[in-house]
Structure 1
């Protein structure tokens, strides 16, 4: 069996390693246009901020490791075109400019995503940078050293993490987003507002509800960001607007969402036989709504890559879908979320109710007992749990993984009230705060006082 793999990040590495182990006789060839593989891009802010000193720790594989598995890894090779009917790849060696063709029996597409770059006046000025791969992170570190004022465009996870890293490195920072608050896709206002408050206390300027319209520069370098509400002086701009799937190679050959994300079935096969896809180039089944959606996360990617390998010869292990579960640490805030927020549920025209609690995570007789705030979103009629968010100074984020399982298994808020959790004063109370949220949401029971004769 001749297997060709296009792209080698989270999903690609996972698919390659598992394919090599499951099918030792397979001939596996990997095509990667970069000079490195398996970079953990979610660690960029930690690297930029100096928390991670050795970037080698952000790579979890290498061409040498794949070679030991019998995999041929062709670095700095770009796929020019794919013919999924004839099963032919056209390849360019980026070092020699040589082009050649290769064939495959099975094709694994793990081409990932690329940052969204708006077509704006001045976008080509120097010191307007992207934040995605290892080379980007090194450029950001180099350019940030000489910058006094850094502007981050985009208040999602990556943008917010970079803002913290730059501020802690002594930079003046401005954060711009067209939404009226940060992290609006992941958190409801009462949660994102706590992070915004911390940003203001640290002197970070937030230009929320503003859309960038152009960039201005001097001597080829950016020095102003122009928005629909004003202008911001800056030395360096980092674009963190979002990502779009890298799927031009398969356009018109397989089914895709409107944004170009490849649609795969529960066994990771595209609409074309023997062509599989995984990771940020794909759509995923989003369990809270039952829809195929684009949710680029490393966790989704490694699961999907593993499943590609297990299903490559015959359907074996179906994909269970995702809740889009994620976590974040900003200053003293430990934050995690899963599924729908109250806002996103309403955007989906779902009738939902919510329950919010703030409770000490363990008994008050303990030396410390920090408060934790939890919000659970559930469907009004079915009472099925659809999402949850948590924030606290002490790390209680693993509780969101529990609620992710609840959503996965279509559990109700009423069942959450009585799930069996252990009690030990070091860790929690007799009623775990997850139980407490469920208890608070229980409907009242109508009781009638018996009449005794």
Structure 2
């Protein structure tokens, strides 16, 4: 069996590793535009900030390792055409322009994503950079060394991590985003306000609710112009999101409106013998029960693993995702899973929430810490669909627990009565996960009682 793989970051690497274990006799051809594989882009901010000194630590597989196992690695190769019905692809060596044509039995599309790059005037100026791959990371490191004023455009996870890294490197930092809050897609205001306060206390300029209209300068960027002001900039890093890298398959494979390839639970696309995994495709989102585009390394690794297991026949189904993610900014330990109330409303779900802000240990303990925790649930079924946490102490693993709750369609009642241990060093007699669910139950019981009271009044 001949297998062709397009792209080799998280999903591609996971697929290849597992194919080699499951089917050691398979012939594998890998086509990758970069000269490396398995780059952990989530570590770019740590690299920029000097937390990670050796960039080689941001890789967990190598071209040489795969080649020793018989994989034909076509590095610096761009796939220029692919006929999924004829099972043929053509690739060009980006250094020599040499053309390679390959026939295959199975195709694995793990082409990933690429940063969104709106047509802003001045985008072609020197020092206006993207933040995605190893080359970008090295470029950011090299160019930031001699600059003073850095502007980050985009207040998602990568953007805010870079802001922290640049500030700790002594730069004057401005963060621009069209939304009124940072991390707007993932967290509610109670969870973003502490981070914004920390940024402002450290002299970071938050230019929120503003849209970039132009990058200005002569050859090299000198300032960023928005619809509300101007900001000095010796370096600009664009972090406004990602789009699926799937243009090659337009009209050949079913996709969502944004270009994300639609796959079933076995990672099969709408075309036989064509599989997709990672940032190039959609995944079933358990919070909404619908396909969604959630580009996370965790999703990519799982999906790539599943491609390998289902390559010959469908044997292992994808359990779906909750989009669970975590973040550490300064002293803030943050994590979220599933939907915020705003995202739930946009998805057509009727939801409510419970929120607690409390110490996590009994009051008699000499040392304690505050935890903020929010639980989002459907009002009609009481099914849990989301959660968020923030604290100076690391409680992020609690969100992994709620992620499991969402995956298994658990209700607030089930979480409220789940058996969690008690020990004063770690929690209170009523664990904070139990407590937030109990508060949700109390809220729903109060609604029901109010409804009965109104009904009784009408009858009387």
Q: Compute the TM-score of the two structures, normalised by the length of structure 2.
A: 0.95
| Offset from partner CA, 1:134-192 (integer Å, 9 cap, x none) | 11011101111111110000000000000000001111000000001100000011111
Deviation per residue, 1:94-143 (Å, 9 max, x gap): 22211121100000010000001111111100000000001101110111
Report the secondary structure of 2:160's partner residue: helix
Question: CA separation in 1, counterparts of 2:374 and 2:68?
Answer: 47
Contact 1:20 1:70 in 2 (8 A): no
RMSD across aligned positions (CA): 1.0
SS at match of 1:255: coil
Give the match for residue 177 of structure 1.
Answer: 177
2:313, 2:355 → 1: CA distance? 45
Structure 2 unaligned blocks of 5 or more: 450-460
Report what 2:198 is aligned to: 198
Aligned to 1:393: 392
1:99 counterpart residue number: 99
> Which residue in 1 is equivalent to 2:41?
41
Indicate conservation of the 8 Å contact 1:79/1:91, yes or no.
yes
What is the Cα deviation at residue 351 of structure 1?
1.6
Cα separation, 2, equivalents of 1:362 and 1:121: 54
Alignment match, 1:356 = 355
**Equivalent in the alignment of 1:235:** 234
Structure 1 residue 73, shift from structure 2 partner: 1.1
Deviation at 1:68, TM superposition (A): 3.0
Q: Deviations over 1:190-226 (max 9, x none)?
A: 11111111111111000100000111112x0011111
Larger displacement relative to structure 2 (428-437 or 297-306): 428-437
Give the C-alpha shift of residue 366 in structure 1.
2.8
Q: Which residue of 2 aligns with 1:188?
A: 188
1:5 and 1:346 map into 2 onto residues whose CA distance is 38
Aligned counterparts of 2:300 and 2:427: Cα–Cα separation in 1:
33
What CA distance in whole angstroms lies between the structure 1 residues aligned with 2:220 and 2:199?
Answer: 27
Q: What is the alpha-carbon distance in structure 2 between the residues aligned to residue 84 and residue 210 of structure 1?
A: 43
Aligned to 1:279: 278
d(CA) in 2 for partners of 1:71 and 1:46? 31
Secondary structure in structure 1 of the residue aligned to 2:203: coil
How much has 1:69 moved relative to structure 2? 2.6
The alignment of Structure 1 onto Structure 2 pairs a total of residues equal to: 445
Shift of 1:67: 2.0
Query: What SS does the aligned partner of 1:442 have?
Result: helix
How far residue 249 of structure 1 moved from its aligned partner, in angstroms, is 1.1
Q: Aligned equivalents of 2:352 and 2:87: distance in 1?
A: 51
1:226 aligns with 2:225: yes
* Partner Cα separation in structure 2 for residue 61 and residue 361 of structure 1: 40
Q: Does structure 2 retain, via aligned residues, the 8 Å contact 1:278–1:305?
A: yes
Q: What does residue 379 of structure 1 align with?
A: 378
Q: CA deviation at 1:72?
A: 1.6
The alignment partner of 1:323 has SS state of coil
Structure 2: distance between partners of 1:221 and 1:6? 35
2:173, 2:410 → 1: CA distance?
43
Indicate whether 1:213 and 2:221 are aligned. no
- Is contact 1:179-1:210 (8 Å) kept? yes
Secondary structure of the structure 2 residue equivalent to 1:289: coil
Q: Tell me the equivalent position of 1:441.
A: 440
Matched with 1:68 is 68
How far off its partner does 1:77 sit? 1.4
1:414 lines up with 2:413 in the alignment: yes
* TM-score, with structure 1 as normaliser: 0.97
Matched with 2:454 is none
Q: Is 1:295 aligned to residue 294 of structure 2?
A: yes
Q: What does residue 247 of structure 2 align with?
A: 248
Query: How far apart, in 2, do the equivalents of 1:212 and 1:391 lie?
Result: 30
* Unmatched segments (≥5 aa) in structure 1: 447-453
